[in-house]
Structure 1
Amino acid sequence: MSDEQQPRRRTARFPLLRSLWSLSSAEAKDDTEAGRSIVLPAQGMTPPLQQVLRRLLMALAVLAVTTLIVWFERDGYRDNAHDEVTFLGAAYYATVTLSTTGYGDITPVSDGARLTNILVITPLRVLFLIILVGTTLEVLTARTRHQVRIHRWRSRMRDHVVVIGYGTKGRRTIETLIGQGVPREQIVVVDPQKTAVDTASSDGFVAVHGDATRSDTLTRAELQRAARVVVATQRDDTAALVTLTARQLTRHASIVVAVREDENVPLLKQSGADLVITSSSSAGRLLGMSMASPHVGTILEDLLTYGSGLDLDERPVTRSEAGRSPRELEDLVVAVVRGHRVLHYTDPQAATLELTDRVITIRQAVPSD
């Protein structure tokens, strides 16, 4: 067996070692750099400061137990500097013994004290060292584990959703996506604010901290392999730059952008956006309709709030529905999607449904558990 085959067979038995072995030097460097900006969902880990304090208390407890043991058996010890072993001397002996310093100025001389050192003090010394060294090992292990998690996440992400901006618009977008059945692990959040990234991570999402107008930030979010991109930034000029950068990284992903002003819609379309939503105009039209007809405004607000009352839904046509009229379906059909065209249900071309069509319906909302 060659030397190259032996370590590979060893690592095959251990998943963690296998994952580390599979990391090339370039990939490991990328994962290390990505680990500084990618925040994975928390898995119930104890905060680092709390871990250190807990280990410190454990070490102090071992030291206190050892001091008491020596103090109770002080008659079996000889102190070269004093006539008898004091409590301070017992604490001193426990400290230098557990730390393996061992100056030899206080030594066990009786058989009982020596037997206690063999059966009790030595195991306590080993435990003390495990506690101290274990803190360092745990920090290194946690860092390695984090890099392995990032490497696995980056290798598995396909056809996911990247939401740029975790403000009010971004959070509402994610709530709607989850209500429509998109898994949390298929959503990646990108935001320049560290507080927003931490909030997204605590909410159970993978978050990337960085400027979304930079291609390296979007690359860390694996945008080049995403299926959908939502741009929900606070400024329209930022949205245009983000859209340009995102479209350069991916040609197949659907990009939906939210802007404030109608005059910026053509610019976003030229930048590569598939759909542009004007938040201020939409809100203004909703306000106007609510003033003219409060009931119409209530229904529109209901339709826009997913999971409450009535919902707009898009689904494929079933085999039993193919060849029928949209008006014959049990669901209330408002439009038919045929190819890249959206046809009103009264359009003559949509009079007969085809198996490749999709229908946009209004249905009773299914309450979430």
Structure 2
Amino acid sequence: MIHFPAVRQGPLRALSVRLLAALGLVLCVVSVVYLDRDGYRDLNEDGVSLLDSFYYAVVSLSTTGYGDITPVTNSARLVNVLVITPARVLFLIILVGTTLEVLTEQFRTTRRVVRWRRDVKDHVIICGYGTKGRSAISALLETGFDKQRVVVVERNAVALRQATAEGFVTVEGSATRSNVLNEASVKSAQAVIIATDSDDAAVLVTLTVRQLTGGKVRIIAAVREAENAPLLKQSGAHQVIVSSSTAGRLLGLSTSAPPLIDVVEDLLTPGQGMALAMRSAERHEVGLAPRDLEALVIALIRRGRVVSLAEPAGIAVETGDMLVYVRNDRPSNNGVTV
């Protein structure tokens, strides 16, 4: 599908075009009435002049209709039905169309905002719609997260339009400002993902979110430099992802152990083969060793702590454990992931 850029024109030009169209419509009706002036009757019984034609056209198109000039012949009445009445409707659309459009759009937008504020809960706020922000959203959607529960906070106009075009609720402004985060209903959010372009902005956003929510909302932040990670955790971030060191490790592994990079890419790329997943331990799995389970379990999450399977033997699955396992993410022939 081909999309053309929207043609934007100033309000003065738009108003001028509408006024010229209205004037042209008036002149058209005047011409029709004047050419058929013998089919109209004036209360003064002195015939219909050019001025009378202008008068009749204006009062007819504006739906005033004083009735002092009326069509009396069949041809004049037919012209009123087929020409003047549609022209009257078109004239009103030209004059009040813009106002009606603006009022309707404002009313629709207001209703959508009110409805959204009433229903929004347990959503995820993405602060920054750059490469990291878009990747975070993609990962969320791959896990089945509802697209309607993603809110993007962005101050860049281009990125904001892109997020809106892709169907996300967006809030324009800097995430470092409390009023902007309140617009995104940060207090009722499930988590805030901070994917800003700079580490100092990430710290400010973290502090602002913690101040507004009292630490009740989970904060996940990304930083470029590893030395800023402790500062973010002290500011209130629950998890900090260091993008530069992670990329550097992958670059190093690609030299010393290239096959490991293929495995990591396979795990992180959806639909390629293997994928990391997490689920609650089932009742029949409680008491068993993780290695004895049907799924390929690589770690346990127990009371918020990661239990590595590299620890001494004797670890058994307990009630409430979360299993981190590797699943087959390659679609089958019918398009279903197995």
**TM-score clears 0.5:** yes
Name the CA shift for 1:292/1:109 in 2 (closer, same or farther; >3 Å): closer
Secondary structure of 2:283's partner?
Answer: coil
1:208 aligns with 2:208: no
1:151-230 correspondence to structure 2 within 5 Å? 151-230=114-193
Number of residues paired by the alignment?
Answer: 318
CA contact (8 A) 2:298 2:309 kept: yes
**Counterpart-to-counterpart distance in 1, 2:23 and 2:294:** 72
**Counterpart-to-counterpart distance in 2, 1:350 and 1:231:** 39
1:150 aligns with 2:130: no
1:287 aligned residue: 251
When the two structures are superposed, what TM-score results if normalisation uses the length of structure 2? Answer: 0.81
Amino acid at match of 2:85: P
Deviation at 1:308, TM superposition (A): 2.7
Amino acid at match of 1:253: V
Could you list the runs of 5+ residues in structure 1 that have no partner in the other structure?
1-45
**Counterpart-to-counterpart distance in 2, 1:113 and 1:99:** 22
**Counterpart-to-counterpart distance in 1, 2:263 and 2:278:** 18
Amino acid at match of 1:123: T
CA contact (8 A) 2:41 2:72 kept: no
2:86 aligned residue: 124
Q: Considering only aligned residues, what root-mean-square deviation do their CA atoms show, in Å?
A: 3.6
2:282 aligned residue: 318
Deviation at 1:123, TM superposition (A): 3.5
Deviations 1:310-367 (A, max 9, x none): 1111111111211211111222111000002101123348721012000111111154
**Counterpart-to-counterpart distance in 1, 2:78 and 2:66:** 19
When the two structures are superposed, what TM-score results if normalisation uses the length of structure 1? Answer: 0.75
**Counterpart-to-counterpart distance in 1, 2:151 and 2:7:** 24
CA contact (8 A) 1:190 1:207 kept: yes
CA contact (8 A) 1:302 1:311 kept: yes
**Counterpart-to-counterpart distance in 1, 2:59 and 2:132:** 61
Name the CA shift for 1:113/1:93 in 2 (closer, same or farther; >3 Å): farther
Which of 193, 200, 214 is residue 237 of structure 1 equivalent to?
Answer: 200
Deviations 1:131-175 (A, max 9, x none): 233442232122022111101101111111000000000001101
CA contact (8 A) 2:127 2:153 kept: yes
**Counterpart-to-counterpart distance in 1, 2:264 and 2:194:** 23
**Counterpart-to-counterpart distance in 1, 2:233 and 2:277:** 25
CA contact (8 A) 1:343 1:350 kept: no
Identity percentage of aligned residues:
44
Name the CA shift for 1:298/1:93 in 2 (closer, same or farther; >3 Å): same
2:220 aligned residue: 256
Could you list the runs of 5+ residues in structure 2 that have no partner in the other structure?
1-5
2:3 aligned residue: none
Name the CA shift for 1:100/1:297 in 2 (closer, same or farther; >3 Å): same
**Counterpart-to-counterpart distance in 1, 2:276 and 2:90:** 63
Which of 325, 328, 335 is residue 292 of structure 2 equivalent to?
Answer: 328
**Counterpart-to-counterpart distance in 1, 2:144 and 2:282:** 20
Name the CA shift for 1:84/1:156 in 2 (closer, same or farther; >3 Å): closer
Name the CA shift for 1:233/1:155 in 2 (closer, same or farther; >3 Å): same
**Counterpart-to-counterpart distance in 2, 1:349 and 1:161:** 38
